[in-house]
Amino acid sequence: MLGQAHHDDDRLTTTVEALQRHHEHFRVNELERARRSLAAGMPEDKVLEELARRLTNKFMHAPMLALNHATAAERPLLQQIYCPLAE
């Protein structure tokens, strides 16, 4: 049983690291895009607003897909997971 627990911990660590890399990619790309917009003369407020909007959309994409594709039986669990985030 200890071996299974260790394996589960390893899988969790791998999943968290993959999520971090995935979202770091978003951050780097969107920051680069914002810098290009600033260099092109776009107003800072507009660049920041666009950066925030784009990151929010990227971060919301996976949870929205999960909720939209969930079966009726799966939705309560997903709502339980995501609803505390909204409070």
Predicted TM-score (pTM) of this structure: 0.71
Domain count for the chain, please give it. Answer: 1
**Does position 2 have pLDDT exceeding 80, yes or no?**
no
What whole-number distance in Å separates Cα of residue 85 and Cα of residue 42? 33
- For 42, phi then psi, to 5°, come to -70, 140
Q: 30-34, 51-55, 62-66: which has the minimum mean pLDDT?
A: 62-66
What whole-number distance in Å separates Cα of residue 71 and Cα of residue 63? 14
Report the percent of the chain where pLDDT is more than 90. 63
Query: Residue 3: what pLDDT?
Result: 65
Domain that holds residue 52: 2-86
Token reading at 74: 């799966």
pLDDT in tens, 13-44: 898 999 899 999 999 999 999 999 999 999 99
* CA 15 to mean position of chain CA atoms: 13
